[in-house]
Structure formats: structure tokens, C-alpha cells
Chains A and B, each alone.
Chain A
Amino acid sequence: MSGHVTDERAPGSGRPIIEADHISKHFGGVFAVDDVSLTVSPGEIHGVVGENGAGKSTLMRVLAGILRPDNGSVLVDGRQLEAGDTRAALDAGVALVHQELSLVPEMTVAENILLGSTPSQAGLIKTQELKQVAADALDEIHVSVDLDEPVVRLSVALRQFVEIARAVARKPRVLILDEPTATLTPAETDYLLDMLERLAERGLAIIYISHRIPEIFRICHRVTVLRDGKHVDTVAIADTRPEDLVDKMVGRELKLDLQDRREAGEPGPVVLRAIGIRAPGVNDVDLDVRAGQIVGLGGLVGAGRTELVRAIIGADLRSAGQVTITAGGSTTRVTSYRSAVAAGLAYVPEERRADGLALTMTVADNVALPNRHQVSRSSVLLVRRIAELAKRLADTVGLRPPEVQREAGDFSGGNQQKVVLAKWLGREPDVIVLDEPTRGVDVGAKVEIHRLIKELADTGAAVLVVSSDLPELLDLADVIHVMRDGRVVGTLPSELADEKSVMSLASGETGAMIGV
């Protein structure tokens, strides 16, 4: 867990370049940030940790002038910034790399990097200068990518780097990164962390938000812990331990049982069988998942895992291949997504806000949707039955707060993911496919989601999990298929799988490359 913490690192002792002074911000009746102060000095990497909903992103958006605080002020170089003025923050040298990617997919890499500050003369874009500035920014972060490539064709990881180049192109003095590694593989994460260390050595102040404690210990000099919008502590990294940090984040004793492997019994008969699957990004894959078995799909981002599972279940078209689901004594050929659902499939998609939930509807309604036949009689909804079902499933997944009549959009990421799971639990699925089930989810929710997935397998469901989070994959899966370039390049039973074996298969021994 521990990184290479060395003593010569100045723990932010210099004159601060940016100062958050008693910031408060509330949404609704709730303080998202409650009287939080923070200082960061040039050359310092300052970690900010806390569970989802702790107020990290809100605080960062206040620092970047996107949100106007109710109280308190932001100072850069001792000068107070105009509250809630994005332009002023940018001009003062504060650049934020967003958590949600904010690139324009159809525009090129160069255009995206200079979006909002495009060099122009008399309304005409100066193409040469545009490319030069974009190229310089990419050079600065040591990423090579074709400047004329539309962003839509880049991998998620490359898009993340373009996003960082965009911030760097503005010659910031303070760089804020909000969960930049959530979508990255370990190799890509390494690359990013090295890059940040280089930038800090050149005097940039960096504020780094992450759920991943090892990253914090690897690059940060100091770390600030937030909980429920409040400042809990700021410590020099050399003076703390990962366990202490986690304790402060959750504010309670939490057993990190992510490494408790399931005692898997003898797997049952094959439930999900896929043969010769071909689809864009997927090249001739066979896959079986048995009853009571958890099969993991590992690999780097862009290896074709999401594409594979979506092609298998019919959520996207496949160009070749056969899929069958055998459950309850009958075998169904999966010819469309709906036929898969009818045969007992549950699918927890990668993009939960975009694909998993109707955010403007209540939790109860979201839960009722896939269970509509259960909660209606001859097409007439039975309101009481919806409420009962939602209540029961909310209890099962541990929804907090357990208020099923609230809109799904009101809940934190981890709880939204529990709602997505709850939707399908009501159907008692025979096959459940989960894509990045705990991405962007806090530690507490993660533990609960893992428990649910294991319980599903224990009760005989066939489970297929895609995850870029290696410890998660190792914890959950009975067998791991590793993908690279659209193919399964290796299969590891749980007793042989570790981070190293999965990564060496995923990266093809040559080491993961960043770039095109």
C-alpha cells in the first residue's frame, strides 16, 4: 500500500500560491462544503480524499470559479479571486481537469486543446499557431497523439490525456485534477502520476483528487481529508498511514475486506455460452459462464471488453457469433437484447448515469421498470406493490438514505449504482453482466456492491464482470479472461491470478504504451 515517501519533499511549507479560505457551499438544505480551508504551495502535490459526496468536487469547482461559494473566498498569490468567475480563475492560472470528460467528440485533438482560447485574427482561426500550441502542450506532458485526429476516435485514456493537455496549454500555476485515473489502467495511471511529479518539480501546484489511496501515497506531499463536506484533517503524507487515512475518510471502523476471496463451490452447468463473437473491436471470442461462477474480464482500456459484453448480450449488434442462455431447463438463443433479458439476463452498464438510470424518476420507479410485469396486473400498475418491491430491494442493497420516493439523481454515485443493481435483483437474474461495477464509487459502497455480487453467485447466478480495477477483479472473479486487441489472450484461474500475471497478459509483455 505504501509509496516511496521521502523526507526531502517539502510538505507544502512554502508560500501558498492558492488558498481556499473558509469556503462553504450548499445545495438544497445540504452543505456540500462546510467551512473548508486549504492551501497549496508551488511545487506541492496536494491530495484531497473523501468518500463520494464528501464535497471534493464541489470544493474544486469553487476553486476553479465554476461555482460561487456561499461563504469564504479563494486567493491566488494572496489576491482574492472574483467569486464564481471561471474566466478570472483561468486568468489567475487555476486550471481544472474535469472528472466528467468535457471534450467535443467531433473536433480534433488540437481544436479541443485550444477550445475556448483558440488563436484567431479577425475571426479567422490561425491554424498553424493552434497546432503549435497544442503540440507544445502535448510535448509538455509527454503524450504523442495525432493533432488532427477527431477526439471521438481516441481511447478513453487518450481523451483523458488530451483533457490534461488542454489544462496545461493555458500555462496554469495551479492544476486541479478530479479523479483523473478513474478510467485508466494501472500502466496508464503510472504514466499520469510520473507526469504530475514532473510538472510539480517545475513549480506547478497540483491538487489531486483520488479514491485510490496508493496513488495519494505515491505522489502527494500533503493530503486533506473531507467528510460530509467538512474538513477532517490535513497531514503531511510522511506522517500518516493508509489505514489512518481511510479511517478519517469513512469516520468509522471499516474492514477493508476487498481481498476476502469468495469460497467458490463447484460451478454448475454452463448458463451463458458465447461462440465466435465478432463485433467492432471484438475479434472471434468464445466465452462460457457457469451457474454460481464469477468470470472476470480484464485488460487495458480499449481492449474490447465492454464491446464484447455488449455484443454478447445484444445491447450492440454483433457481426458474427452465437449466444445462448440456458436457465430453468430451457435454452434460449440470444438474438436481441430483449431476448436476453427475457431469458434471465441482468446488465449493469458502464455508464450508469447515461445508461443505467432515469435520473428524474424516483428510485421506486427506476426499480419498477425492469420488474414492471411483477408490479402490474394486466398492464395496470399496482402502486403499493411498487413501493413494497422498491423498499425490499433498497434494503437488500443498503441504499442510503433508504428513501425510495426520492429521485435517483439526488443520490451519490455509490448509491445510484446500488439502485442499478436493485433494479435487476427483483428479477432474480440467472445471468448478470456488470461493467465497471464500482467505478467512481466510495469505499463503503464498494464493499457492499462486492458482497451483493458474491451473494448472487452463491445463489447460483452466472456472473460476468468487466473491471479495470485489478484488486476488484482479483477479489471477485473465480476465473479471469484477459483481453487484448479484441481477443482473449489468456485465462487465469483465481489461484494463479495476481496483478502481475493479469497485467503482463493485458499489456502483451511489452509494457503498456501510452500514445497511438
Chain B
Amino acid sequence: MSENLAGRSVTPTTSDGGDGQQTAVTAPTAEAGPPAQVGIEQRDFHLLAWLADRGIIVFTLALVLLAAAFVDGFASVDNITDVFNRAAPIGIVAVGMTFVVISANYLDLSVVAQVATAAVVLIGISNETNIPLAMLLALGIALVYGVVNGVAVGVFKANAVIVTLATTFMGLGILRWASGGSIYFGPEDSLIRSFGTTEIGPFPLSMIALIVIAIALHLVLTRTTFGFMVKSYGSNREATRLAGVNISLVVIGAFILSALGAMIGGFVLAAFSNTAVSAMSDGFDFEALAAIIVGGTSVFGGRGSVLRTLLGVVFVSVLTNIMVLSGLGFGYQQMAIGALIVVAVSVDALARRAAGI
């Protein structure tokens, strides 16, 4: 038992534990630091961790290829344009909301009220006055949403799900009261309408707007101190506070970005349909969330990216489109989105555990 191995070399010998590959990457390091760990990519292969990290790229590609090969009518310019038109508003909402998710505040449910409000304000107010005034008013409302949500969550430390559930309720109440529940129709010759109908090739302007916004927000997340603090806060809020960061402002900022995304999403949605009504954004919260977490952004915070969300939007939109083309109705689509979220958050949680965090 007490076999003396003190003189043995620390260079790993090929043990019969695990497969031989594992030993091959265990290089001897200097002295007695932590055990030799050569690089992150040489970690043990965990299917779940891989799924959470890279799965979206493969799945999106596979889904698009399968749809193109097997679903009638998918690979037509008209259909692609249609997918983009429907993807753009949700996508813009989702890329903004990604900041809230990365800050470990789960999600911003109030985007439902925010999108509808922005759409109704854009069409309703511009009908009576002009577009810039309508947009300015919508911007003001978005800032109010961002600050109210952000202060409740970031300063008072209230739970983000409950707070934004409540502000959705309030916001939709105010919108229905102010609009009397009416449907607003825009004039056929307005600038709004022409934005909603202009296409460059198969790309509607709304899709181009989504891509531009996503790239801009990607840069905000990865290249600015603000985005950096959002990520850090999501990873460990106390460590971030103790680094001297004003963490309340970080949370408020994340909710403001989410509100701005929802506002632009509402504009794009209104432009596409040229109508606006308080119920038009039902389900935006969950579809945006689905895009974010399917993309691989962790609901535990600290990990994620805007470009991932963009991929997630493509995946969710193509999936929905396939169902529409296959004649599966809205009920099926809802079921699919719900199931997708359950699977994605479970993979996220399991991958986190597999990674030993």
C-alpha cells in the first residue's frame, strides 16, 4: 500500500483510465502549479456543452438546408422575403433584450407592451401630426420603460420577471385606455409604408435594419466598457460591484437598450403591416426569448452574444415558416416555440453543470 512513488516522474504515464487521447493532452507543466491544463479547447468533450455552444450554427444550417430540399415553396424569393419580414421585428427586439439576459436578469417581458405602444404611437400620432414627432414621443416612452424597469430591478433589486410582467400589464392597460382599443391604419403613400414595402433583392429594409442594429449592438457588447460591465455583472454582480462599478447604472442601461430595441421593433412591425393595434405584439416576449436562448446566450447571465441571437432569430423564424408552409396553424407554432424554450434552457442548465460551474 505505502509504495513509495516520490521519485516517480510527474510526466503523465499512459494510464488505463479514460481513453488514450485524454492523457495525450496532459502535458507536464513547470513545477507544482495546478495540474497541467493546456488549453480550453482540450477540455473533455461534453455533448451538452457543445450543443449549448455550437449547436445553433449546425442546427440553423441543417434546418435551412432541409427546408430548402424538402419543403415546397421554401426556397423562393417571395418566401425568403416573407421570412425576413416576419423575422425582422422580433429580431430587433431580441438583440436588444439580449443585454437583459446577459445581465442575469432573465428577460424583459414588457417588450410586448413596448412594441405595441411604439407601433400605435408611430401610426396613430403620425396620422395626426408628423412622423418625427411620433418617433420622438415613442422614444420618450421607451426611455420611461427602460428607466422604470431598470430602477426597479437595478436599484431596488426587484425580480426582473415580476417587474417586467407588471410593467407589461400597466403598459398595455395605458395603451388600451389611450387608444380605446382601436386599430390604426396608415395612409398608403406615407414614408412608413414605403419603408415597409421596399426590398433590395430578397432583403426587405427591415431585415437590413436588423442586421445593422445587431452589428451595432454586438460592438456595444464586445467593444465598450458598458457592454463589458453588463457581461461582468451577469457573471458575478458582487465582484462587479466590488470592482467599483456603478451596478445600478449597468442594469438601467441594459433595460434601456432592451426598450430601444422594442421601440424600433415596433416601428418596423408597424411599417410592415401599415396598421397598429394594442394586441399586435402578443408572443413577442417568448419568441424573442426563444431566439436569444436558442442562440446560446445563457439565462444564468455572463455568457452570450448579440450575433448568437441573430442566428437564433433565423432558426426560430425558419422553423415557424416551415410550419406555416406545411399548413400547421398558429397553435402548433406556439407549441413549437414553447417546447424549444424548454429544451434550450434545459440544455443551457445541463451544459453549465457539465462544465462544472
Report whether B242 and A315 are in contact in the complex, using a CB–CB cutoff of 8 Å: yes
Q: Which of A39, A53, A349 contacts B1 (CB 8 A)?
A: A39
Besides A29-B25, A55-B35, A406-B39, 5 other CB < 8 A contacts? A27-B44, A230-B8, A361-B235, A379-B224, A379-B225
Report whether B357 and A409 are in contact in the complex, using a CB–CB cutoff of 8 Å: yes
Q: Which of A24, A225, A359, A380 contacts B223 (CB 8 A)?
A: A380
Question: Beyond A29-B26, A365-B232, is A229–B35 a contact (Cβ under 8 Å)?
Answer: yes
Interface string of A364-399 (1 = CB under 8 A from B): 011011101100100111010000000000000000
Q: Is B43 in the interface zone, CB < 8 Å from A? A: yes
Number of B residues near A (Cβ < 8 Å) is 57
Report whether A380 and B239 are in contact in the complex, using a CB–CB cutoff of 8 Å: no
Report whether A370 and B32 are in contact in the complex, using a CB–CB cutoff of 8 Å: no
Report whether B42 and A234 are in contact in the complex, using a CB–CB cutoff of 8 Å: no
Q: Nearest Cβ in chain A — how far from B297, in angstroms?
A: 12
Residues of B within 8 A of A315 (CB): 242
Q: Which of B35, B223, B357 contacts A360 (CB 8 A)?
A: B357
At the interface, is chain B mostly helix, strand, loop or mixed? loop
Q: Is B335 in the interface zone, CB < 8 Å from A? A: no
Residues of B within 8 A of A369 (CB): 228-229, 232, 239-240, 243, 245
Q: Nearest Cβ in chain B — how far from A254, in angstroms?
A: 9
Question: CA A10 – CA B33 in complex, angstroms?
Answer: 35
Interface string of A8-38 (1 = CB under 8 A from B): 0000000000000000111111111011011
Interface string of A68-92 (1 = CB under 8 A from B): 0111100000000000000000000
Residues of B within 8 A of A153 (CB): none
Q: Which of A34, A230, A361 contacts B231 (CB 8 A)?
A: A361
Q: Is A469 in the interface zone, CB < 8 Å from B? A: no
Report whether A381 and B223 are in contact in the complex, using a CB–CB cutoff of 8 Å: yes
Q: Which residues from 1 to 28 on chain B have a C-beta closer than 8 Å to any C-beta of chain A?
A: 1-6, 8, 10, 12, 15-18, 21-23, 25-26
Q: Is A137 in the interface zone, CB < 8 Å from B? A: no
Q: Which of B22, B34, B225 contacts A376 (CB 8 A)?
A: B225
Question: CA A356 – CA B241 in complex, angstroms?
Answer: 10
Report whether B34 and A31 are in contact in the complex, using a CB–CB cutoff of 8 Å: no
Residues of A within 8 A of B229 (CB): 369, 372
Question: Beyond A70-B18, A230-B8, A357-B239, is A32–B228 a contact (Cβ under 8 Å)?
Answer: no
Q: Nearest Cβ in chain B — how far from A211, in angstroms?
A: 14
Interface string of B159-194 (1 = CB under 8 A from A): 000000000000000000000000000000000000
Question: CA A70 – CA B22 in complex, angstroms?
Answer: 12
Report whether B232 and A358 are in contact in the complex, using a CB–CB cutoff of 8 Å: yes
Q: Is B198 in the interface zone, CB < 8 Å from A? A: no
Residue of B16, B32, B38 with most chain A CB atoms under a 10 A cut-off: B32
18 A-B residue pairings within 8 Å (CB atoms): A29-B21, A30-B35, A31-B15, A31-B22, A31-B23, A34-B17, A38-B1, A53-B35, A70-B17, A71-B15, A357-B236, A358-B235, A369-B228, A372-B225, A400-B33, A401-B34, A401-B36, A444-B33
Q: Is A197 in the interface zone, CB < 8 Å from B? A: no
Residues of B within 8 A of A442 (CB): 32
Q: Nearest Cβ in chain A — how far from B16, in angstroms?
A: 6
Q: Which residue of B lies closest to A399 (CB)?
A: B33
Q: Which of B21, B44, B244 contacts A338 (CB 8 A)?
A: B244
Report whether B12 and A34 are in contact in the complex, using a CB–CB cutoff of 8 Å: yes
